[in-house]
Structure 1
Amino acid sequence: MAELNYHHLRYFWAVAHDGNLSRTAQRLHVSQSALSVQIRKLEEQLGQNLLEREGRRLRLTEAGRIALDYADTVFAAGAELVGTLKGGVGQRRRVLRVGALTTLSRNFQLELLRPLIHRDDVELVIRSAGRRELLAQLQTHAVDLVLSNEALPRDAGADWYSQLVSSQPISVVGPPSADDGPLRFPGDLEGVRLVLPSLESGVRESFDRLLEFAGVRPVILAEVDDMAMLRLVAREGHAYALVPPVVVRDELRAGVLVERCRIPEVRERFYAIFQRRRFPNPLVRELLEAAAGRDNE
């Protein structure tokens, strides 16, 4: 195979980051046709389409995302070489792009990603957004996986996969008081003021079913779909809150909140959503294997 033409690669790199052929051509002071020819030659050499048109913009194919990652490494290495020879320190790193639902527990995200956070050879890019936006980013290879507290139905067109990475118990927590004894579930929740996850939550559905079966009616003060907000509301101390302990881990350790009862029949499940790819990011496998190893401990 002929050696890679780095001139062609640099043109592709510039267009991939701009997403617009005419703007890149103008910036590089070349014609659009000349730029297109250079990129086409690179695609022919690699045997893969790297860019495809989406309206007026160019969008990376899966092979294009892989090529861009390598191009970023190549040109970053060039900059590092200059820095190293001028007295700096250079280092080449792999990138993992993670999408996380805005409502997902930050403590859970930290625990899951901890094996990669302190590695000098890995750069983590974490993006928070709604489910629809993150799945769109997954399809366009802008993220490598999406973290969610709900599994995604299999879709033959999108070829989604949802892998369970953690399962957390659910507890009723509240501020410390003179009566810090445990609550008996579900009977002691009759008439108790509660802050709950929203009705769309799988945890809430299971919790409501258990109370309905027992004929117990708590007083619902608030319904919150954001775990970070639920944590803050729980700290206010005006009611008990239904949360996975991982969400309020720091408050429980500090004694700001106490666990009044655990509900073994209800668990919060966390999933990694990804797609089958011809060129998978090896860091995804490393992350999922580390998560599976923790569950087996």
Structure 2
Amino acid sequence: MNLHHLKLFRAVARDGTLTGAARALNLSQSALSSQIRTLEAALGHDLFERRGRGLVLTEAGRIALDHAEAIFRAAEDLTATLRNTGRARRALRVGALATLSRNFQIGFIEPLIGRSDVEVVLRSGAQPELLRALEALSIDVVLTNLVPARDASSPYLAHALSAQTVSVIAPPGASALLGRPLPEILSSQPLILPAPESALRASFDAMVEQRGIATRIAAEADDMAMIRLLARANAGLAVIPPIVVRDELASGRLIELGRLEDLREEFFAITLHRRFPNPLVGELINAFKS
């Protein structure tokens, strides 16, 4: 068994037919079939079973494909790492959940801002898309407030960066509410809340349910930046971590009515088990935690 056998096996597994894989590899179908049989003999198991005109992986084939993908990721990792060795500038590719606080993202990469030896590439998107990019080694770290599902075979490492308190944020015109009990404020004022599918919203809903607080929702948004803008536009009181509106609180454009001590929003950096990790990632994680 060698890398060539695994490359051919992966091509057949992805295409589902010998004909299509042979065409893509510029090989004859008979030559490809012979190489697959050689690999099966070396492993001692059939890797495919025929269904109709196509081929599907056996249980052994699925296990072999998982290992083959890990081997090729390691090879790509090695190539990318060694190509960058000795270069004057290093690249750090950061993926961030599209709804994540921009202030948090800037705070994470802040130690690298202005460094002449580093180029920072920032991408945003949905979590499944970012995790696929992480596994494909096209990004080095994913910033998120959602821990991906993990099991014994999961390739992810979740680094807890911080747990932010959650506050009730209002425009300056609501200053008359300062000092009033938060349950009273939450039950009497229109609220701007994170979208129902967010972890923060789930925690908030559980809290008000437990305390018997009836709320009136003025707006919901899955983007923290939009919640900030709605609060500035006087659409209601926002339930968000203060870091999201740090600049507005400092300038007085928004005020903090109080903190919901029972609520926390956690932020994570997700990485992979890599033989050659980007050292800038560890540098940033350690800097943020300290």
* 3-state secondary structure, aligned to 2:165: strand
Q: Does 2:181 correspond to 1:169?
A: no
Question: Equivalent residue for 1:55?
Answer: none
AA in 2 matched with 1:64: E
- Where does the alignment leave 5 or more consecutive residues of structure 1 unmatched? 1-31, 34-59, 78-91
Conservation of the 8 A alpha-carbon contact between 1:174 and 1:241: yes
C-alpha distance in 2, partners of 1:62/1:102? Answer: 28
Conservation of the 8 A alpha-carbon contact between 1:168 and 1:244: yes
Question: Equivalent residue for 1:282?
Answer: 279
Conservation of the 8 A alpha-carbon contact between 2:81 and 2:276: no
Q: Does 2:183 correspond to 1:189?
A: no
Question: Equivalent residue for 1:64?
Answer: 76
- Where does the alignment leave 5 or more consecutive residues of structure 2 unmatched? 1-25, 28-71
AA in 1 matched with 2:98: T
* 3-state secondary structure, aligned to 1:118: coil
C-alpha distance in 1, partners of 2:126/2:266? Answer: 18
Deviation at 1:183, TM superposition (A): 3.5
Pick from 197, 200, 207: which aligns with 2:197?
Answer: 200
Question: Equivalent residue for 2:69?
Answer: none
Q: Does 2:283 correspond to 1:271?
A: no
Pick from 142, 150, 156: which aligns with 2:138?
Answer: 142
Q: Trace 1:113-132 onto structure 2 (pairs within 5 A).
A: 113-132=109-128
Report sequence identity in percent.
45
- The size of the alignment, in residue pairs, is 221
Question: Equivalent residue for 2:243?
Answer: 246
Conservation of the 8 A alpha-carbon contact between 1:152 and 1:161: no
AA in 2 matched with 1:67: T
Closer, same or farther in 2 for the Cα pair 1:180/1:189, shift >3 Å?
Answer: closer
AA in 2 matched with 1:104: L
* 3-state secondary structure, aligned to 2:182: coil
Pick from 78, 87, 93: which aligns with 2:89?
Answer: 93
Conservation of the 8 A alpha-carbon contact between 1:73 and 1:93: no
AA in 2 matched with 1:218: T
Following superposition, which runs of at least 4 residues in structure 1 exceed 4 angstroms of deviation? none
**TM-score of the superposed pair, with normalisation by structure 1:** 0.70
AA in 2 matched with 1:63: A
**TM-score of the superposed pair, with normalisation by structure 2:** 0.71
* 3-state secondary structure, aligned to 2:172: coil
Q: Does 2:213 correspond to 1:216?
A: yes
C-alpha distance in 1, partners of 2:179/2:199? Answer: 25
C-alpha distance in 2, partners of 1:226/1:252? Answer: 19
AA in 1 matched with 2:164: Q
C-alpha distance in 1, partners of 2:126/2:81? Answer: 25
Conservation of the 8 A alpha-carbon contact between 1:102 and 1:129: yes
Q: Which moved more, 1:118-127 or 1:184-193?
A: 184-193
